[in-house]
Amino acid sequence: MSLPEGCLTYLEVLDEEYWSLQGLGPDADSAALRQAYRRTRGLDDEDPRKSEAENRYRLAVMKRLHEANRSALCFSGGGIRSATFGLGVLQALSSRSVRPDGSTALVTEFDYLSTVSGGGYLGSWFSAWAKRVGGAAAVVRELATPPATTFEPEPKPVQHLRRFSSYLSPRLGALSTDTWTLVATVLRNMFLNWLVLIPFLAAVLLIPLLCFQLARVPAGQVGEATLTFLLVTGFLAGAVGTGYVGFDLPSSGNARLGTNRYLVLCLGSLMLSAIHLNAFWAWWPAGPFPTAWLHLIRDGKNAVDLRHFMVFGAVMHGGGMLAGAMAAWAHYKHPPLRRGLEATLVAVITGAVGGAAGFLLTRVFPPDATTGWIVDAPLYTCAAFPLVMSVFLFAGTLLVGGTSEITEDEDREWWAHSGGWLLLPTLIWPIAAGCILYAAPWLDYLGHSLTTAASAVGLGGLTAWLGFLPKGSSGGPQSNSESGEVGPVDRLAALAAKLVLPAFLLLLAMAIAHLNTGVLRFIHTRLPHLPGPRLWQETAPVWMMMAGYLAISIGASWPINVNKFSLHAMYRLRLIRAYLGASNPSRNPHPFTGFDKNDNMPMCELSASKPLHIVNMTLNLVKGQNLAWQQRKAAPFTSTRLHTGSCRLGYRTSTEYGGKDPISLGTAVTVSGAAASPNMGYNSSPLLTIVMMLFNARLGWWLGNPHSEGNSWKKSGPTFGLRPFLDEMFGLTDDANPWVYLSDGGHFENLAIYEAVLRRCRVIVVSDAGCDPKYVYEDLGNAVRKINIDLGIPIVFADGGPCSSRHCTTARIHYSAVDGPGVEDGVLVYIKPSLNGDEPADVRQYAAANPAFPHESTADQFFEESQFESYRRLGVHIVESVCGDSEPLTLDQFVEKAKGEPASRSAAGA
């Protein structure tokens, strides 16, 4: 994939990171290889010069990375649980990092700090602190040598974390202003989002009502010119749809046209034909027109019989097939004329049979014998369109069977795909139109309209709230049974959850339809006699309502920014206050709000010393085109002080990405922790997406596409919000638009090791504090699987795999499988919160009182003092268990400790 000017590939990013960490500029050989690589980027992917230059450059970059022996410290997702456990891990590692002479090792040996989701809370705290004190070494010294004081013997940034352990609402309680501030923010933003979304949905739901109003126009009230137009265009559209078959069918024209062409020229034409023919039949009077030039129209409905329908169907179907086959022969010189004529003959016969079926279907809606008016307009509106489409499907099926002697398997597969597309509108329309047109009488019959609407809101609130609940650490289902098996209660709960979503959406659609019907009645009472023809009189109120709704929606989408009025800003401000503000020595919060804008900092201004912080996010591809990614629906997206972007799309410099105020550490970490988002990578669900969008359960963020030819990547977000609103609501996110939707990095990979392996780190230490009460290691399996699929690098555990009886284990990263046998493989040190019975007394007591510890729900982001300290202390204890009573360690020594048998426990852990 060619990249626009200024957009970097992942190889160029890894190259620039290498030289930045070296503190040097590229040497002449490296610069020459890169220039040769860049010169071939515009060439075709099949050009051997391009592949040769890329291969040479890649080998050179990977060789340097392996020789540099890079290492990474990774903190997983898991909200504040992961951040607090990671804090203990970091404190214990720091205590083993400072030598008697004040020099540092271990922690300061890491080249990368890779974080995702909740691990990013801790990573941002560390990076912001390192920036303010001149580097990671100073932070490590302060963590290792706390201030000498009787009370609170910890550095101030750690004390700050304790004060804000309930970072979303530091002051808890029903009467707390923090609690009601959260409530007010949620309600305000949800209302503003509704100003964009609800009017648009109401306008869409007016379409069946508009069709109903059209069906109510009395027969004979529409002029002959209109009827002639509908009949002729309905006939021609049907012929075009059939002709497309003859032109594109593999054994006929084999034009090899794509899906978009099919949707317009075949499916669209047949749908237009059905709509026009339905309208013609509804408005055609029973008796003759006094002055009409067309014999058929003049005589009216009562004059037509089976013969007319059969002739109409035969000519439309056969004529269309003949035209398509002739056009294919003229353009491609195939199919043979004889085969085209045979197909045309079969099309004539099947079209006649289809016409007969259409005649029989008109008996389903017997018109008034005197006027020709459709008696049951609601039923006609719901059923006429799918019935005509069914006739097309019926005739097409007969055509497939009748031409089986002259067609191949590829043709029948083409017909099957076409049949699938035709079935979609045929099945969806009667369900949607029925719910909308019969909503008012159903609700009135029940007599509980207000109760039903309130129930709808309650169900929606419940389902939106369910979007915040963990379903496994990365979205999989959990069992409450100790055996891990799914019991009857679990199955019942899962079934109820599945029913809640469609029930809510059905009730919401009915409630909006009921409101539309009420508004329409009100308009009719205010404007009982509109001037103009009857067709305009019946439909004008609906057109007025539709125009008004769209005006509100489109007008509101300009000032109501899709980013600013999600929950992202609320979440970001509180994360920044709790974690980035912890190390701000001159913090001066606003006396009313308690926030200080100086707590935050741009990504590009982070400390140039090691480790380089990689913030992992997810690029959502719910509507992506890669069939192999239908489960993951996502790709990695990262931000460092140097670059922001994705190996799939390319990278831009972090000094410019995101606007005149470039992407900040606070924004990147908040997006990385945006667990509750309508689009959630491989956790995405179509129904849940709509509900979460409606209730503004949105923590994700829209940013410019790094691959965009324009300047969207230099902006902070979309200026016109309707399109992103709808893309987010209906799961239409992809990487082909100027804007991309980013969410929690755990929606792709929740351990933050993917990017470390991509950078060929020889040592990767990961703290996995994702919610995993059954120790099924879903996040680990997901990461290992994707690294093997995408990068071709297997990760194999030394003892066959991790287990809950050990705090720490190691695995071998087989870089040699990709980079050659001469390459040294890497080692993964895997740390997992678990209880072995040798924990400190306070940790054991908390665990006894809280059986879910150390895997309490990620939905709990309001930690109490005992909870905070128990997770922190467990992190300290586990690292002490690995290190034993040893003196300060180097990174290699720590790895050797992790590979061996569990070391002796420290005295402090007793």
The pLDDT value recorded for residue 517 is: 86
Summarize pLDDT for 718-748 with one digit per residue, the tens. Answer: 988 788 988 888 888 888 899 999 999 999 9
The predicted pLDDT at position 376 comes to 83
- C-alpha span between 126 and 271 (Å, rounded): 60
pLDDT tops 50 at residue 525: yes
pLDDT at res. 274: 95
pLDDT, tens only, 290-321: 554 456 677 778 888 899 999 999 999 999 99
| CA nearest neighbour of 809 among 777, 857, 854, 855 | 777
Q: Which residue has the higher pLDDT, 529 or 438?
A: 438
pLDDT tens across 122-162, in order?
999 999 999 999 999 999 999 998 777 667 788 999 999 99
Instruction: Please name the helix (run of DSSP H) or strand (run of DSSP E) that holds residue 726, with its range, or none.
Output: helix 722-729
Q: What is the pLDDT of residue 860?
A: 86
| pLDDT given at position 908 | 30
pLDDT of residue 178: 85
pLDDT of residue 546: 94
State how far the Cα of 657 lies from the Cα of 661, in Å rounded to an integer.
9
Task: Say what the pLDDT of residue 91 is.
Answer: 95
What is the predicted pLDDT for the residue at 804?
A: 57
- Structure confidence at residue 755 as a pLDDT band (50, 70, 90): very high
Least confidently predicted of 72-81, 528-537, 647-656: 528-537
Q: How do residues 380-398 score in pLDDT, each as one tens digit?
A: 999 999 999 999 999 999 9
Angle at 416 between CA 410 and CA 417, to 5 degrees: 95
Is the distance from CB of 652 to CB of 7 less than 8 angstroms? yes
**CA–CA distance from 389 to each of 395, 426, 428, 458, 513 (Å)?**
10, 6, 12, 38, 25
Helix (H, G, I), strand (E, B) or coil at 796: strand
pLDDT on residue 146: 75
Contact in structure between 862 and 172 (CB atoms under 8 Å)? yes
- Tell me what pLDDT residue 467 has: 45
Lowest pLDDT segment from 489-498, 533-542, 858-867: 489-498
Range with lowest mean pLDDT among 6-15, 86-95, 711-720, 794-803? 794-803
- Sequence-separated (6 or more) residues with CB below 8 Å from residue 222: 283, 533, 534, 535
- Indicate the average pLDDT of the chain: 86
Regarding predicted confidence, which is higher, 439 or 609? Answer: 609
Q: Tell me: the pLDDT tens digits for 338-381?
A: 888 888 999 999 999 999 999 998 877 777 777 777 778 888 99
Distance CA 376, CA 89 (A): 72
Cis preceding linkage at 854, omega within 30 = yes
SS (H, E, C) 281-308: HHHCCCCCCCCCCCHHHHHCHHHCCHHH
Predicted TM-score (pTM) of the model is 0.86
pLDDT digits (tens, 9 = 90+) for 199-224: 999 999 999 999 988 888 887 788 88
How does strand 739-744 pair with strand 612-620? antiparallel
pLDDT category at 627 given cuts 50, 70, 90 is low
For 263, the token pair is 């949707």
Whether pLDDT at 493 is above 60: no
Residue 758's closest CA among 808, 687, 819, 713?
A: 819
Block residue for tokens 């005589």: 299
